[in-house]
Amino acid sequence: MASQRDVKSKIGSVKNIQKITRAMEMVAAARLRRAEQRIAALRPYANAIRRMTRQAAQAAGGAESARVPLLAEHESESAVAVLLVTGDRGLAGAFNSQVIRAGVRMAGELGQEGLRSSWYATGRRGVSSLSFRGYELEGSYVGFSDRPSYADARTIADDLMTAYVDGRVDRVEMVYNAYISPLRQTVTHERLLPLTKATIVGEEPSDGEEVEEETRSHAAVEYEPDPEQILRRLLPDYVEISVYRALVESTAGFFGAQMTAMRSASDNAGEIITELTLQMNRARQAEITQEIMEVVAGAEGLR
Amino acid sequence: MAHTKFPVEVLTPEGEVFNEEVEMLSTHTALGSIGILANHEPVLALLEPTELRLYRSESEIVRFAQAEGYLQFTENRALVLVEEAIAPDQLDRATLETRLRDARSSLEQAQEGSERQARARRDIRRYEAFLAVGQ
């Protein structure tokens, strides 16, 4: 049986671990709030872009009339770009591994259809895990998963769009952790390219009021330059916004997952401490009993 | 003489950077520079990287280094959507210069007529404009 002192030092170290996990939990909670604000900050911009696109598309006579490479499906598919969005750091439960697993599974399915996967990854975890498994990365983006900026998303989106337009890949898929709530992230697949009309124009506004307002504002709008060129420039923004949204949602999801993981680590540490304290008390009791028995035995011997 | 004021909202993907009433807004569209006063006719324009100037009054001007984006003016309200809008004193010259160098070397490697070439050119325009604003 472990001596009293051994157990005591073990309790000390578990308590230290608990202090660290508690601190990490609180840091993650604070960062989660900031990440949530960034998700909220994107919404007005994304909505305004969508409204503007609808207006430009109407003025240009429908999105189909614009011959934009990002909208054009390639005639035959041979390569698919797969973008995995992970975090730079671990200690967040299954957060990173579930994205990597989903991505690898997807590549397997694509392989069965005779399609080659071309890998892109953000976050050190995804990059190192993929290279460890022997996949060659076309693009790796690290160092910003705690606080992704729009410029980061733009770099990634640019690489993907360039690969698509220049014909190196025929489709672009993205796998990331979508942020549902601090306690929930779901692995989500999203097709980035080719863009579909549905993603761009979205559902038609349901309430008649908005439609009316929009048609009225179209009345005599001056376009600089013509609506088709404006539309052409708006389309890449969708890819950028999608990538940016995935990055910020993944960041929020990461801190949520880390918060949960650290909370259960702290709880586990608490349980271990209780158990060890019990063990220590038992050891102390055993020592006392032992001593009493020795004293009694000694007294008996003197009689 | 004081001009009539109108509301201007400047939005970026990372949040709102400006939302106030101004007398005049001046920026650069794909076709040339543009100045907007109250009651301007409705317009939807592509913006080029440049210095965005928002005149609270003739002497009080708020300035931003503005990336590519869009300007919408309807019903006497201006909406400026840009990827980046940075106050001149927040510009980081060193980073911009590195990015400009990267974009230039990417342009050299890019094939004629490729998407990569087009994007490198666009980046160069943006960083050059930002550096000019910072001066």
ipTM score of complex: 0.84
Position A13 pLDDT exceeds 80:
yes
Q: Taking CB atoms and an 8 Å limit, are B116 and A162 in contact across chains?
A: yes
Average pLDDT over residues A213-239: 75
Average pLDDT over residues A31-41: 90
pLDDT for residue A267: 94
Per-residue HEC secondary structure of A135-147 comes to: CCEEEEECCCCCC
Q: Which residues of B touch A158 (CB under 8 A)?
A: 119
- Between A4-59 and A227-302, two packed helices, what is the crossing angle to 10 degrees? 170
pLDDT for residue A271: 95
User: Read out DSSP for A55-66?
Assistant: HHHHHTT-GGGS
pLDDT for residue B121: 86
Q: How many CB pairs under 8 A join A and B?
A: 90
Average pLDDT over residues A194-222: 59
Chain B residues 27-66 within an 8 A CB cutoff of chain A: 29-31, 34, 41-46
Q: Which residue of B has its CA nearest to A59?
A: B44
**Which tokens sit at A281?**
């008390």
pLDDT for residue B75: 87
Residue A261 to chain B, least CA–CA distance (Å):
28
3-state helix vs strand vs coil in chain B, percent to 5:
30, 45, 25
Q: Tell me, what amino acid is at B17? A: V
Using pLDDT thresholds of 50, 70 and 90, give the confidence band for residue A211: very low
Chain B residues 93-132 within an 8 A CB cutoff of chain A: 114-116, 119
Sequence-distant (≥ 6) Cβ neighbours of residue A73 within 8 angstroms: A194
Using pLDDT thresholds of 50, 70 and 90, give the confidence band for residue B2: low
Q: Which residues of A touch B116 (CB under 8 A)?
A: 162, 166
pLDDT for residue A122: 92
Q: Taking CB atoms and an 8 Å limit, are A230 and B75 in contact across chains?
A: no
- Domain spans, chain B: 6-86, 91-134
Q: Taking CB atoms and an 8 Å limit, are A48 and B75 in contact across chains?
A: no
CATH code for residues B6-86: 2.60.15.10
* Average pLDDT of the residues of chain B: 87
Position A212 pLDDT exceeds 50:
no
Average pLDDT over residues A217-246: 82
Using pLDDT thresholds of 50, 70 and 90, give the confidence band for residue A224: confident
Asked if B33 and B48 touch (Cβ cutoff 8 Å), the reply is: no
- Domain spans, chain A: 4-29+262-302, 32-258
Q: Tell me, what amino acid is at B127? A: Y
Residue A166 to chain B, least CA–CA distance (Å):
6
**Among 1.10.287.80, 1.10.3720.10, 1.10.630.10, 2.60.40.10, what is the CATH number of A4-29+262-302?**
1.10.287.80
Q: Taking CB atoms and an 8 Å limit, are A244 and B34 in contact across chains?
A: no
pLDDT for residue A206: 44
Share of chain B above pLDDT 70, in %: 99
d(CA A96, CA A90): 7
Provide the sign of the torsion angle of the four alpha carbons A47, A156, A29, B10, taken in this order.
negative
d(CA A145, CA A248): 8
Secondary structure (3-state) at A35:
helix
* Average pLDDT of the residues of chain A: 85
Average pLDDT over residues A107-128: 90
CATH class belonging to A32-258: alpha beta
Partnered with residue B78 across adjacent β-strands are B8, B73
d(CA A233, CA B70): 10
Lowest mean pLDDT among A193-207, A267-281, B2-16, B18-32: A193-207
pTM for the complete prediction?
Answer: 0.83
pLDDT for residue A209: 42
**Which tokens sit at A287?**
């020592």
Q: What are the distances in angstroms from CA A106 to CA A61, A85, A119, A175, A198?
A: 37, 14, 11, 9, 23
| Residues comprising chain B, all counted | 135
d(CA B129, CA B48): 9
Average pLDDT over residues A262-274: 93
DSSP A225: S
Using pLDDT thresholds of 50, 70 and 90, give the confidence band for residue A236: confident
Option in B13, B46, B114 nearest A230 (CB): B46
Q: Taking CB atoms and an 8 Å limit, are B12 and A44 in contact across chains?
A: no
pLDDT tens sequence across A72-82: 788 888 899 99
d(CA A35, CA B55): 33
**Which tokens sit at A241?**
């916004």
